[in-house]
Amino acid sequence: MLNFLIFCCVALPFIVGLALYCVPGGAMRKILVPSTVVVMAMAAIGLGANGPFHLEAQDFLGLPLDAAFTFLDFILLGYILFLGWNLRSRLIMGMTVLQLAGLVYLKGVLTDQATPVTGFAPDGLSLIMVIIICVVGGLITIYSLGYMDIHEEHLHLRASRKPRFFAIVFCFLGAMNGLVLCNNLAWMFFFWEVTTLCSFFLISHDRTEIANTNAFRALWMNVLGGLAFVSAMLFIQKSLGTLSTEIVLQKMTALDIKNTAMLMPFAFLCLAAFTKSAQVPFESWLCGAMVAPTPVSALLHSATMVKAGTYLLLRMAPAFAGTTMSTIVALFGAFTFVGTCMLAVSQSDAKKILAYSTIANLGLIITCVGINTAASMVAATMIIVYHSVSKGLLFMCVGSIEQRIGSRDIEDMRGLYSAMPRTATITTIGIFTMMLPPFGMLIGKWMAIEAIARATQAMTPILFFIALGSAFTVLFWARWAGILISSANLREYPVRGIHRPTVIFALRTLCGVALLFSFISPMVLKDFVGPSVSGIYARFNLRAEGFIPGANFTGVEGYSWIYLLFVLLALGAWFAWRATRRVPEKAHSLPYFSGLAVRRGNEVGFNGPMNVFEPARVSNYYLAQYFGEERITRGIDVISTAFLIVLVGGLL
């Protein structure tokens, strides 16, 4: 049974992707995509219900899997080398050749013949990730059915690119599932590089000059991460004699290691994770990916790609618990969090706000990894779960709004509720789930702050960074929500077309999931996240300091007053809404300009000197002179590069 469930999660998406590419008919796609998503989601839930397990997988249909993955590794890297040649990038070609050389050495000289590696050994974290990938990623794929129809209509394409698009998306989902389920680092590396290649194709999907440029940047940065991954495997195989993640963690936790060369491979894994998760100074590839169709952004930011890096760090964190390296990782994540929150404050482009928010939250997760206690790991896992749902929802909302009003600038969303009430409401709910109680993201952040405060190390600078970044977070989320529910509609934007049924279904379903998961967050914590994390720590005989099931926000009892606060806020909003309904429509149809307000065409303003019409302008203050990209990005990148030099160079 487990074999079949893993097949549905890993192999089936690749098979369906090939079928979608070879059979380009729209009718087949509308049947095959949702049915495959349902099968994958059910298989993921089945794996989660089964709990952690070990599954030997030495061959498939008589073919040795190690040999198959070795062959696929070389084919994949050969293709990336070919891409580098076509792109005339010596950097990509050079790093790919080094990866190939490392794999040849690894397979030819240091292959582990004595210690068999269990093919699949997912723990609680792996199973949580599989459910996120299949459910959230599946809903994004269903959303893509309607979105890509309208997207291609706007592009006026002669030949549809949807068969290629959906084929790559399903390969993306299958690769992510394979990555989180594998116990063998060599197998994991193959899926790691498949996500790199898929992201390149998806970002460059529209084939514009800016899309190709940003896809190229994403490719070389993630190839750098692949090179770091290969380097880590070489060090691990040389020093520990195995590529099994379980055995590696068991051996490392048994050694009382502080600051030695034994930590070098884990520093390289951190570097690989930072590139994949777009941490500073590698954030530019993820911000550049915003040129891709919205489903691509949603996939990269929520269910796939960037979560691969945080998953790798969470999985390997016990190996460097209690070391100076762990503290540096925490500082790096905290600095990324506050730096990218500052950058988000200066943005009015909705996708860029979401991009910087994603990088910031990944930085917070990495901070929890560096704290390396069970409490911080619970907080990190909670953030992964709720961030995936809420951020996927928000990206889909922005894509829907952009297709209807022709803009994704949040200033153009002012008064959107009057034109698109349902979409505006869902978007506002998505924002609230990122910042207000009792929604899971706030609970996860609060737990992270609590874990940092309870840590035994001197974590005052980290706590300051997280508190400051959280204040900036409230600023840009509250500003956006205020714009959406504002009644000041000074300019009328034509709303084009209607949402396709698959778009409406995906938005409403994921919104419902976000609300449901937040209201049952005590159950998610107590019955799902907590046992999975505490089980990992028990397995490796680590101390679980800080994991206090009955204390404050980490226990079910602590949520009662949060629910009370939410009820009070909801009642206040309801009474305010009722009050506005009593005001005659004409009373608030125009803003008050001392009785001079007039509407001319689709704009509102007043007659100024010489009876000249002056259009009114309402805009937020974005503090660009303080936090603009051109002012602070370089400084943030320089400081973060110094962190990386200390992280890797300090172990040499």
In which residue ranges of the chain is pLDDT below 70?
58-62, 109-118, 256-259, 303, 456-459, 487-498, 537-563, 577, 580-595, 602, 650-652
pLDDT at 350: 93
DSSP reduced 3-state for 199: helix
241 in Cβ contact with 114 (< 8 Å): yes
Which pLDDT tens digit goes with each residue over 100-153?
999 998 877 555 444 566 678 888 889 999 999 999 999 999 999 999 988 888
Q: What is the spatial distance between Cα 405 and Cα 352, in angstroms, rounded to a whole number? A: 18
pLDDT at 584: 56
448 in Cβ contact with 373 (< 8 Å): no
Backbone φ and ψ for 607, nearest 5 degrees, come out as: -85, 115
pLDDT at 78: 94
DSSP reduced 3-state for 184: strand
Q: What is the spatial distance between Cα 180 and Cα 316, in angstroms, rounded to a whole number? A: 12
426 in Cβ contact with 368 (< 8 Å): no
Q: Is 395 inside any structural domain?
A: no
Q: How far apart are the first and last CA of the chain?
A: 47
CA distances in angstroms from 531 to 52, 431, 520, listed in the order given:
11, 29, 16
Q: In sequence order, which residues have a C-beta less than 8 Å from that of residue 382 and are 6 or more positions away? A: 440, 443, 444, 447, 521, 524, 525, 529
* CA within 13 Å, CB half, 87: 23
Q: Is 406 inside any structural domain?
A: no
- How many residues make up the chain in this entry? 652
CA distances in angstroms from 593 to 221, 568, 590, listed in the order given:
52, 35, 9
Provide the residue type at 76 as one letter: L
How many domains does the chain divide into? 1
Sheet harboring 613-615: ordered strands across?
597-600, 603-607, 613-615
Q: Is 597 inside any structural domain?
A: yes
Burial pattern 234-246, b for ≥16 Cβ within 10 A else e, equals: bbbbeebebbbbb
Q: Is 320 inside any structural domain?
A: no
Q: Is 226 inside any structural domain?
A: no
Domain of 596? 583-615
CB atoms under 10 Å from CB of 310, counted, come to 28
**Nearest-5° Cα angle at 218, 216 to 224:** 105
92 in Cβ contact with 83 (< 8 Å): yes
pLDDT at 576: 73
Q: What is the spatial distance between Cα 381 and Cα 38, in angstroms, rounded to a whole number? A: 24
Full-prediction pTM beyond 0.85? yes
Q: Is 600 inside any structural domain?
A: yes
pLDDT at 256: 65
pLDDT at 27: 82
Q: Is 595 inside any structural domain?
A: yes
Q: Is 12 inside any structural domain?
A: no
pLDDT at 383: 92
pLDDT at 547: 45
